[in-house]
Amino acid sequence: MAKSIPWIPLLALIGAALAGMGAHRLQEPLRPATEVAGLNAHETHAGATLLGQFRTNISAWLWLRTDRYLHNGVEMRPLTDQELAAGQMGVGTSDNHEKDLHDDSAMRTVVPSQSEDFRGWMGDVERATSTYKDMTNHGHNSPKTALPLFRLMTWLDPHFIRGWTTGSAAIGWGRVPGSEVKMMAYLKEGLEKNPQSVAIHMELGSVKVRRQRDFRGAIPDFAAAIRYGGPNLEKLGPDDQEALQDAFRWKTLCHREIGDYEGKVASAKAGLQLFPEDSLLMRLLHESPLKTVPGQKTPDRVEIPEEEEEHH
Amino acid sequence: METTVESSAIQVTDLHVSYRTKGGQTLKAVQGLSFAVQPGEVVGFLGPNGAGKSSTIKALMGFVEPDGGSASIMGLRAGSLAARKRVGYLPEVALYYPYLTPIETLTLFGELQGLRGPELRKEAMHLLELVGLSESYRRQNRTLSKGMLQRVGIAQSLLGSPDVLILDEVTSGLDPIGRRELRNLLKARRDAGCTLFFSSHELAEVEMLCDRLLLIDKGHLIEERKLDDLRDQLREFEVTYTGGPVLSDWSEDIEIGEGGAVRVRFGNQSDLLQAIDRIHQQGGKVIEMIAREGSLEDYFIDTIQRAA
Amino acid sequence: MRFFVLKALTRGVVIDSVRRKDLWVVAILGLLILLSASLLGFFGLDGLQSFVKDLATSVLGIFTTIIAVLVSGRMMPDEIKNRTLYPLLARPISRWELLVGKWLGAVAVTWISFGLLLVTTSLALALFRVPFEPVMLQYILLKMIGLAMLCSVTLLMSLLMTPAGACVMSLILAAGTGMIVRAMTMAFEFASPPVQFLFKVLNGLLPQYGLFDVGDRAANSGWGPAPLWVVGALLGYAAVYSLAMLVLSWARFRRQAI
């Protein structure tokens, strides 16, 4: 009976399974320094197996699909360099939410309009069979409808940072009372999976400031974003670079709001070292100490945006 | 214009077939081949590997386009739909559709032949019975042995009672019993007036079935013989005797054995009989007389070598 | 062209494919779709309807495209490899009839696979309480026409190159034509007149398989079916294109030594 059991392949399988289960323990110490700064961990660490790559691709695909659902199926594309050089304009939007998700000022529909299409009847057929419509000055579906998709994206690939940050914004869409608690819980879940993500730390601090006016409580989040991102600026992707710059701005504003003049100056200076062209940090640096008094309103004071929807 | 020579079942005139190799060279498989097969005749088509047998058969079936010359079957241009309607063909190696059963295979080919309905089913079952597959007709072809597949092939070639049967390597894969059954089957077809044209490497089969044989090599016809004539030619006669005359003026094939016994071989029977008379007349004593059928294999090899 | 010949050839292909268990693979794929769909339920149903419909039409489209290519890509090469072409062509059928019969067989197998996948996909959609809308009917009809056209393209490819090459090339054409056309529409305005002419020629030559996909309209709410003239135009286009592919296949095959 025992002879009929293929022990060697069986043991090899069990061994492989155990090794696979234990591999995640090795992942943290083995991850390269770049990931510390919140780079796309899933693409660089040793565990980026075929399956890992597959789920990363699925998440990226879901991201693109989400954008299409928000446009009710109409596929958009950015203007080409030639089109931009020719002075052509994007279709533009009638609302102003989720700018990063679909900033359509330089976007147009993938299927061209009849006047721009050389294909004659074939173009007409495509416009009739695809989800095409004139998107000039168009609106969007509520990001709320895409919430399960953000959840799905982060479930498939926990290192898909945009899924966490934009998903949090979708949760908070419409400013339903109590939504900020859900937003923060979602972002904290994201931080558990990506403890060194610049963008998520920045986003968490941003929610605390915008939704709760908790300046003091937000400073450690911005500081964490700066701690992980600052030393690796060159290695950061565009999203994380932008998040790092925002973290410096928000942290500087927070110091001012709690009356910490030295902290504000130090934060602005540190930010300007990395982003010397940042005019907002420059202005904050040169504000008079008087303007650090909480609640003080002066004409040249840099104000914190309140009503604008979250953006990333 | 489909009709050419109506008197022959198969007529091949100055046929040329060539292939273009991957290297761009032209390979001449058949070069100016001409022969005719009369209705009701059984003709064996022999030749070494690469002689052009299959290419000739492919030209007859319309599988390849001849470079020159012409071929016709029952007076119809070879390869035309009308000609193919009157021909049953057994390919050298065919796997048939592995997932179909023999009865489905025959139904498919029968329908393509223009047969249908219960009559087709009846004929298919009858043919499967004839080739000994009546108990395996529901098994998928892929589960059949090579010999059984060959039987499926033979059955399909007989569908629609063709006037001409063209069989490429007919006994391939068959066991001795299968060969005998096939032989009987083909003889029955011949007796029913069907013309048989087949290639084979099995010279014994050729010998047992054929009226005539065609021998080709390197695309040329090198010998065309009636089998009866050939048998006569190949038959050997031998006498062993002691004493009496020396027969060196009768035959060059003389051996003198132990005890002075002389063995003499003759090419025909009348020489043998005259020699025996002479031995008796001159006081000799005949020990042994043998009439031996000649070897077709030796003839085959000799003829090919001579042509080369 | 005789109907009974086409019928016999088509039936042979279908029986062969069913027995090969090709369709079992399709059924397993369908079950996987169902399983994946039930997994998606964990993420809540609100807002997922569009995604589920989108996923369903995408999965259907991808799998049936692959099936169409694989089935039609092996039709003629298998006949030649297995030497079944000899007893077939020994029968009084023309090579044109053989090609059309094989194409119809491939189309029939593809449509059956599509039907099987459609059933499982519809079950998956029912899990999400997605109503069956008229646009889905149009999706099915146009998809079937498109698949038939794709089969003819693959059949031609299989006579021009190796079976693997034919399948890869057909998949590239099926998936890539949309991208090429997209790039051409973007670049057309800035291209020189000769290049613009080339774009027009290419646009006419490439199989516009993507035009037959109204999956996006089915997935996103408020679009509805395309107008009837579009269905007519696509039907005509597929008929002309498929015929052209079959004629080219015949031109290649009719004098081919086997």
Residue range B32-90, pLDDT digits in tens: 999 999 999 999 998 888 888 889 999 999 999 899 899 999 999 998 999 999 999 99
Separation of alpha carbons C174 and A136, rounded Å: 31
Please check the confidence at residue C200 and state whether its pLDDT lies above 90: yes
Closest Cα in chain C to A125:
C230
Choose the weakest-confidence range: A218-222, B198-202, C116-120, C216-220. Answer: B198-202
Does A25 map to a domain?
no
Contact A149 C48 (CB under 8 A): yes
**Do A136 and A261 belong to one domain?**
no
Quote the minimal CA–CA distance from C8 to chain B in Å: 6
Same domain? B192 vs B288: no
Cα of first residue to Cα of last residue in chain A, in angstroms, is: 63
Print the domain residue range for A109: 77-140
3-state SS, chain C, equals CCHHHHHHHHHHHHHHHHHCCHHHHHHHHHHHHHHHHHHHHHHCCCCCHHHHHHHHHHHHHHHHHHHHHHHHHHHHHHHHHCCCHHHHHCCCCCHHHHHHHHHHHHHHHHHHHHHHHHHHHHHHHHHCCCCCCHHHHHHHHHHHHHHHHHHHHHHHHHHHCCHHHHHHHHHHHHHHHHHHHHHHHHHHHHCCHHHHHHHHHHHHHCCCHHHHCCHHHHHCCCCCCCCHHHHHHHHHHHHHHHHHHHHHHHHHHCCCCC
Q: What is the pLDDT of residue C209?
A: 93
Contact A202, A219 (CB under 8 A): no
Quote the mean pLDDT of chain B. 85
Decide if pLDDT at A98 tops 70: no
In this prediction, what percent of chain B has a pLDDT beyond 90? 30
pLDDT (tens digit per residue) in B262-301: 888 887 788 888 888 888 888 888 888 888 777 777 777 7
What is the distance between the alpha carbons of residues A71 and A107, in angstroms, rounded to a whole number?
A: 12
- Residue A162 and residue A113 in one domain: no
| Contact indicator for A271, A284 with CB cutoff of 8 Å | no
CB contact under 8 A, C216 and A73: yes
Residue B168 — very low, low, confident or very high, per pLDDT cuts 50/70/90? confident
- Sign for the CA dihedral angle at A117, A120, A124, A130 comes to negative
Establish if B89 belongs to a structural domain: yes
Average pLDDT over residues B218-234: 83
Residue A121 and residue A161 in one domain: no
A86 to chain C, any CB pair closer than 8 A? The answer is yes
On whether both A206 and A133 belong to a single domain, the answer is no
> Within a domain: residue B4?
no
**How distant is the Cα of A268 from the closest Cα of chain C, in angstroms?**
42
Do the beta carbons of residue B158 and residue B113 sit within 8 Å? no
Residues B76 and B48 placed together within one structural domain of the fold: yes
- With cut-offs at 50, 70 and 90, classify the pLDDT of residue A5: low
Residues A268 and A153 both lie in one domain:
yes
- Partner residue facing A131 (CB), from C142, C212, C220: C220
Residue A5: inside a domain:
no
B241 and B284 together in one domain: yes
In C, residues 194-253, which contact A (CB 8 Å cutoff)? 196, 199-200, 203, 208, 210-214, 216-217, 219-223, 226-227, 230, 233-234, 237
- Asked if residue A307 is part of any domain, the answer here is no
Rounded to whole angstroms, the Cα distance separating A60 from A312 reads 17
Please report the residues numbered 44 through 73 in chain A whose beta carbons come closer than 8 angstroms to any beta carbon of chain C.
62, 65, 68-69, 72-73
Touching B (3+ Cβ pairs <8 A), the chains are C
CA end-to-end span of chain C, whole Å? 22
Pairing relation of β-strands B76-77 and B68-73?
antiparallel
Beta bridge partners of B19: B27
pTM: 0.78
C186 interfaces chain A, CB cutoff of 8 Å: yes
Instruction: Using the predicted structure, report yes or no on whether residue A293 has a pLDDT greater than 60.
Output: no
Final residue in a domain of this structure, among A140, A160, A185 = A140
Residue at B268 is within a domain: yes
Does residue B106 form part of some domain?
yes
Residue A257: which residues within 8 A CB-CB, separation 6 or more?
A: A215, A294, A304
Q: Confirm or reject contact between A118 and chain C (CB < 8 A).
A: yes
- Whether B242 and B138 map to the same domain: the answer is no
- Given a contact cutoff of 8 angstroms between Cβ atoms, the answer to whether A205 and A191 are in contact is no
Read off the pLDDT of residues C60-84 as tens digits, 9 standing for 90 and up: 888 899 999 999 999 999 888 888 8
Say whether both A231 and A284 belong to one domain.
Answer: yes
Distances B129 to B103, B132, B154, B181, B183 between C-alpha atoms, Å? 11, 5, 12, 12, 15
Q: What angle do CA A186, A193, A55 make, to 5 degrees?
A: 100
A102, A123, A140 - which closes a domain: A140
Residue-level pLDDT at C184: 93
Side-chain-side CA neighbours of B31 within 13 Å: the count stands at: 11
Asked whether residue B107 is domain-assigned, the answer is: yes
B36 touching chain C per CB within 8 A: no
The answer to whether the CB atoms of A118 and C185 lie below 8 A apart is: yes
Same domain, A153 and A262: yes
Neighbouring chains to C with at least 3 Cβ pairs closer than 8 Å: A, B
- Share of chain B residues as helix, strand and coil, in percent rounded to the nearest 5: 35, 30, 35
Query: Are B37 and B56 members of one domain?
Result: yes
Average pLDDT over every residue of A77-88: 84
pLDDT attached to residue C236:
97
Whether C132 contacts chain A with CB within 8 A: no
Q: Tell me: do B145 and B286 sit in the same domain.
A: no
Range list of H helices, chain A: 7-30, 33-36, 41-44, 50-70, 81-85, 121-129, 147-156, 161-172, 179-193, 198-212, 215-229, 238-257, 261-274, 279-286
Q: What is the DSSP string of A53-67?
A: HHHHHHHHHHHHHHH
Last residue within a domain, chosen from A87, A118, A140: A140
Residue A304 falls inside a structural domain? no
- Rounded CA separation B44/B56 (Å): 13
Whether B256 and B151 map to the same domain: the answer is: no
Chain A closest-CA separation from residue C47 CA (Å):
4
The reply to whether A11 falls in a domain is no
The residue of chain B with its CA nearest to that of C98 is B112
Closest CA to C171 of C143, C145, C149, C150: C150
Count structural domains, chain A.
2
A108 to chain C: nearest residue by CA? C186
Given CB atoms, is A147 within the 8 Å cutoff of chain C? yes
Residue B305 lies in a domain: no
B146 confidence band (pLDDT: 50, 70, 90): confident
B1 inside domain: no
Query: Which candidate in C91, C98, C102 is best for mutational testing of the B interface (most B CBs within 10 A)?
Result: C91
CATH number at residue A273: 1.25.40.10
CATH of the domain at B130: 3.40.50.300
**Whether residues B110 and B158 fall in one domain:** yes
Tokens (6 digits) for B178: 């299968």
Mean pLDDT of chain A: 76
Residue B226 shares a structural domain with residue B243:
no
CA distance C109 to chain B (A): 15
Is residue A203 domain-shared with residue A286, that is, in the same domain? Answer: yes
pLDDT: which is higher, B1 or A89: A89
Whether C27 shows a pLDDT value over 50: the answer reads yes
* pLDDT range class, residue A50, cuts 50, 70, 90: low
As for the ipTM of the complex, it is 0.88
More confident position, A179 or B70? B70
- Chain C residues in contact with A154 (beta carbon < 8 A): none
Domain ranges for chain C, please list them.
3-253
Q: Domain residues for B124?
A: 10-230
- Interface touch B100/C82, C-beta < 8 Å: no
pLDDT at position B107 is 93
Most confident option among A209-223, C54-68, C75-89, C160-174: C160-174
Structural domain includes residue A168: yes
Same domain, A135 and A150: no
Please spell the DSSP secondary structure of A29-55, one letter per residue: HHS-HHHHTT--HHHHSTT--HHHHHH
- Of A242, A255, A250, the C-alpha closest to A206 is A250
Question: Beta B164-168 vs B87-90: how paired, if at all?
Answer: parallel
In order of C149, C166, C249, the CA distances from C161 in angstroms are: 19, 6, 12
Residues A128 and A149 grouped into a single domain: no
CB B169 within 8 A of CB B92: yes
Query: Is residue B39 located within the same domain as residue B176?
Result: yes
All residues of chain B having their beta carbon less than 8 Å from the beta carbon of residue C15 are 99-100, 104
Shortest distance, CA C26 to any CA of chain B (angstroms):
18
Q: What is the pLDDT of residues B32-48, one digit of tens each?
A: 999 999 999 999 998 88
Lowest mean pLDDT among A141-145, A239-243, A293-297: A293-297
Query: Which of the residues B26, B57, B108, B167 would you substitute to probe the C interface, choosing the one with the greatest number of C C-beta atoms within 10 Å?
Result: B108
Provide the domain count of chain B: 2
**Nearest by CB to C51, which of A65, A80, A117?**
A65
| Residue A131 shares a structural domain with residue A244 | no
Does B301 map to a domain?
no
Fill in the DSSP letter of residue B114.
T
| Judgement on whether residues A185 and A264 belong to the same structural domain of the protein | yes
Q: Where are the alpha helices (DSSP H) in A71-97?
A: 81-85
